[in-house]
Amino acid sequence: MFNNNFTSLKNFNTFGFDIQAKNLLVIKSETDLIDNFKAENINLSSKIIGGGSNILFTHNVDELLLKNEIEGINIIAETDETIDIAFGGGENWHKIVLYCVNNNWGGLENLSLIPGCVGASPIQNIGAYGSEIKDTFQWLKAFNLKTGELEIFNHSQCNFGYRDSYFKNEGKNLYFITQVCFRLSKNPKINVQYGDIQAILDQKGITHPTIKNVSDAVIEIRQSKLPDPAVLGNCGSFFKNPVISLSHFEKIKENHPSIKSFPVSETEIKVPAGWLIEQAGWKGKKVGNVGVHEKQALVLVNYGQGTGLEIKILAESIQKDILEKFTISLEIEVNIW
């Protein structure tokens, strides 16, 4: 469906900003992409939106906006041990996680309640509580906005990194992801070693957890720490957790012995961005109509009347402060338009 009238994107971005799109094209199938490319409606200048949970709009969108609403759940292959299942790029991420959990197919349960659509998951290599997309990813199908061809990308071609992939670098703005396939386990290995999952299970007296128990625990943790976008506009974690050298970390630890960290290699260590922001005094701070969430310093929020530019300025102020205080450059995880 092609709409060439100005359309409000207020319900299409989790910050809740009332930004206008000049041209909106809802994509329901791969055929929609092919036909519109042939009609010269789609090109490299087109922008793509899914669930709108990783986008900061700072102005109206003049370019053609493609909204991914491709659905579908297809079993590709199956053995006694595993199942390969492909989901349409427009499917709601949390919905498909619960679908897998309810079928006792393990691998995605630690990624419960992450907002957004399936198509965005490999772009971000989304991760939480000890799991990442790359752990179960098999392949994806994507429409090339330059050539009009559908292409298949295997695991190695996606070049996954921490919150990173080929599609955030060389392939940025070039592909519309139509389908993503994961290999899940019928005999799941339970991962409760990260975050507060084990503590939640202990509180409930669960000694032999299922993937449903893990999923429920992750949902409970996320709901306790992260604001509901329907109530308070936000896009989840705004910054990446920085990876710094071990020597740099030791220098910071001299003045901040309580600093938290996660080893990455023998020479590098990951530091929680939320901890840095909180130590710098930003947690719970309100600036105009926006601010930093009171329970999670990684989350920037819109109190109702804010703008994307206010969020952008706040983010830049935080970056500058963290650089001055800790000599660490915070990288923004959100796409800024």
Residue 53 — very low, low, confident or very high, per pLDDT cuts 50/70/90?
confident
Return the SS3 of 3.
strand
d(CA 52, CA 43) in angstroms, rounded, equals: 21
Q: Which of 163, 220, 278, 331 is catalytic?
A: 163
The answer to whether 212 touches 190, Cβ cutoff 8 Å, is no
Task: Give residue 51's pLDDT.
Answer: 86
Q: What is the pLDDT of residues 155-164, one digit of tens each?
A: 999 999 988 9
Task: Give residue 101's pLDDT.
Answer: 97
Mean pLDDT, range 38-43, rounded to an integer: 91
**131 HSE (CA, 13 A, CB side):** 23
Task: Give residue 130's pLDDT.
Answer: 87
The pLDDT > 70 percentage for the chain reads 98
The pLDDT > 90 percentage for the chain reads 79
Please state, as a whole number, how many other Cβ atoms lie within 10 Å of the Cβ of residue 214.
26
Q: What is the pLDDT of residues 2-38, one digit of tens each?
A: 555 688 999 899 999 999 999 999 999 999 999 999 9
Q: Which of 112, 131, 165, 237 is catalytic?
A: 237
Between 208 and 194, whose confidence is greater?
208
d(CA 289, CA 146) in angstroms, rounded, equals: 40
Residue type, 301: V
Alpha-carbon separation of residue 6 from 52, 198, 294, 300, 308 (angstroms) = 18, 49, 35, 28, 19
Mean pLDDT, range 56-60, rounded to an integer: 93
Mean pLDDT, range 132-143, rounded to an integer: 97
Catalytic residue flag (residue 163):
yes
The answer to whether 242 touches 328, Cβ cutoff 8 Å, is yes
Task: Give residue 195's pLDDT.
Answer: 66
The residue count of the chain comes to 337
Phi and psi, residue 198, nearest 5°: -60, -40
274-281 long-range contacts, Cβ below 8 Å, gap at least 24? 274/298, 276/242, 276/322, 276/325, 276/326, 276/328, 276/330, 277/239, 277/318, 277/322, 277/330, 279/325, 280/318, 280/321, 280/322, 280/325, 280/326
Mean pLDDT, range 295-314, rounded to an integer: 94
Q: What is the CATH number of domain 73-185?
A: 3.30.465.10
Q: What is the pLDDT of residues 235-278, one digit of tens each?
A: 988 999 999 999 999 999 998 888 888 888 889 999 999 999 99
Phi and psi, residue 84, nearest 5°: -100, 120
Return the SS3 of 182.
strand
Return the SS3 of 180.
strand
Task: Give residue 6's pLDDT.
Answer: 80
Average pLDDT, the chain: 93
Q: Enumerate the domain spans of the chain.
A: 2-68, 73-185, 233-336
d(CA 160, CA 133) in angstroms, rounded, equals: 9
Catalytic residue flag (residue 333):
yes
- For residue 181, the 8-state DSSP code is E
Strand arrangement, sheet containing 262-263: 243-245, 268-270, 262-263
Task: Give residue 3's pLDDT.
Answer: 53
Task: Give residue 182's pLDDT.
Answer: 98
Mean pLDDT, range 203-223, rounded to an integer: 94
Q: Which two tokens stand for residue 163?
A: 């919150």
Residue type, 89: G
Task: Give residue 180's pLDDT.
Answer: 98
Residue 91 — very low, low, confident or very high, per pLDDT cuts 50/70/90?
very high
Per-residue exposure over 134-170, b if at least 16 CB sit within 10 Å of its own CB, e if not:
bbbbbbbbbbbbeeeebeebeeeebbbeebbbbbbee
Alpha-carbon separation of residue 19 from 2, 58, 64, 103, 285 (angstroms) = 18, 8, 14, 39, 25
Alpha-carbon separation of residue 120 from 17, 133, 155, 192 (angstroms) = 20, 11, 15, 25
Q: Which of 109, 132, 310, 333 is catalytic?
A: 333
Architecture in CATH of 2-68: 2-Layer Sandwich (3.30)
Q: Can you give the pTM of this predicted structure?
A: 0.86
Q: What is the pLDDT of residues 144-182, one digit of tens each?
A: 999 999 999 999 999 999 889 999 999 999 999 999 999
Catalytic residue flag (residue 222):
no
Between 194 and 73, whose confidence is greater?
73
Q: What is the pLDDT of residues 101-134, one digit of tens each?
A: 999 999 999 999 998 999 999 999 999 888 999 9
The CATH T-level fold of domain 233-336 is: 3.90.78
- For residue 198, the 8-state DSSP code is H
Return the SS3 of 62.
strand
Return the SS3 of 211.
helix
Task: Give residue 249's pLDDT.
Answer: 92
Q: What is the pLDDT of residues 93-106, one digit of tens each?
A: 999 999 999 999 99
Task: Give residue 4's pLDDT.
Answer: 54
